[in-house]
Structure 1
Amino acid sequence: MSPFSIFLIGIAMSTDAFAAAVGKGAAMRNPRLPEALRAGLIFGTIEGLTPVVGWALGSAASRYITAWDHWIAFALLAALGAHMIHAGLRPHDDDEDAPRRHGFWALATTGLATSIDAMAVGVGLAFLDAEIAVVAVVIGLTTLVMVTLGIMLGRSLGRLAGKRAELGGGVLLILIGLAILYEHLGGAAGIPGM
């Protein structure tokens, strides 16, 4: 898996966390950098660990389905991408009473909810012989940065930017799935960096 593909996975996995962070930032009175970094660390840690869990589960099953691994990875990424696009298009419930200050457990719960897709990506990566430690670190660091930015920009950007980020992340996941499928079906045999 190329460094560019790993970077795109990191971006795609962090967009739903970014969307949640924009909403949390919009609910806060004046978000400061320490609060935003704290949220970014919580989200980034969780988002970085979940693909490792998924990879371990996928590795246990990989020897039984190696002939279909690229199709499984494609199906998982495409399904997750479609789900993110659907969530980005769904109208947002504005009746939520979000707290002004977010506690650790509220952030951790939201971080876990937004990282389920990263676990599924980890399952798919187990079939591709990807370096999971590198992917997990990239996803975690990208999420840390995106959540920190989301909290800080949330007040001015509002929920609209969060929805667009989720749509973009979904499209990225589908494109990555198509690239994996193309690579494994022999189409990228002579293309460097794939």
Structure 2
Amino acid sequence: MNAIALLLLAFSMSTDAFSVAIGKGASLKNPRFAEALRMGLIFGIIEAITPIIGWLIGHSAASFVDAAFVEAWDHWIAFTILAALGLHMLYESLKPNIEKKEAPSRHSFSKLVLTAFGTSVDAMAIGISLAFVDVNILIAAGLIGLATAVMVTLGVMLGKVFGSLLGHRTEIAGGLALIAIGAWILSNHL
């Protein structure tokens, strides 16, 4: 696999995380660059780890697990995680609240990890596929993680602009975006 193909793979793996980051950034109260970078690093690290896990699975279980089996289920897992998180955001934004709820200044680590994993399940399937071609998995995973970290950081800052435009509806928009991304991942694999 040549360098240009690796770069294209890295950026294509980060597009769904970029979209989610816009929604996450829009739901925050005036996110600062440090928070955007924190989110970018969390997403980037997870997005770099999952293809390595997939590659290890592909190498160690080549005789036991068919790569097609993982590819048959990865989109369902991603859809379920993203839809559940999106529905939770919708529920939180639509439930009656006597006092005005202020947007958080940062997202919890556990929610970010879960969201990042939901957007990186496809990278695990890519990792399994990469086990069957001549590629340095550490370079590929590093490029995927770096591209994701950059795209998520930019997405959060772009979400800040959308957040100021949408006002209190940002959590609704973010929840709908997560559900839409999950549905998009699912529809692209069916």
TM-score (normalizing by structure 2): 0.68
How many angstroms does 1:49 deviate by? Answer: 0.6
- Cα distance in 2 for partners of 1:113, 1:79 equals 12
Alignment RMSD: 3.1
Alignment check: 8 A CA contact 1:81 1:174 kept = yes
With over 3 angstroms needed to count, the CA separation of the structure-2 counterparts of 1:128 and 1:144, relative to structure 1, is: same
Q: Which runs of 5+ in 1 are unaligned?
A: 179-194
With over 3 angstroms needed to count, the CA separation of the structure-2 counterparts of 1:46 and 1:128, relative to structure 1, is: same
Which residue does 1:65 correspond to in 2? Answer: 62
Which residue does 2:24 correspond to in 1? Answer: 20
Once the two structures are superposed, the pairs formed by residues 29-68 of structure 1 within 5 Å of their partners are 31=30, 35-63=31-59, 64-65=61-62, 68=66
Alignment check: 8 A CA contact 1:17 1:147 kept = yes
Alignment check: 8 A CA contact 1:21 1:147 kept = yes
How many angstroms does 1:175 deviate by? Answer: 4.5
Secondary structure in structure 2 of the residue aligned to 1:60: helix
Which residue does 2:133 correspond to in 1? Answer: none
Q: Which runs of 5+ in 2 are unaligned?
A: 131-136
Deviations 1:68-108 (A, max 9, x none): 21331341123212442454356321359556644xxx554
Q: Are 2:152 and 1:139 aligned?
A: no
Which residue does 1:164 correspond to in 2? Answer: 176
Once the two structures are superposed, the pairs formed by residues 38-187 of structure 1 within 5 Å of their partners are 38-63=34-59, 64-65=61-62, 68-89=66-87, 91-94=90-93, 95=97, 97-98=101-102, 101-102=105-106, 108-129=109-130, 131-157=140-166, 158-178=170-190
TM-score (normalizing by structure 1): 0.67
Deviations 1:28-82 (A, max 9, x none): 2xx2xxx432221111111011122222322222121366213313411232124
Alignment check: 8 A CA contact 1:55 1:122 kept = yes
Which residue does 1:185 correspond to in 2? Answer: none
- Cα distance in 2 for partners of 1:58, 1:142 equals 22
- Cα distance in 2 for partners of 1:83, 1:107 equals 16
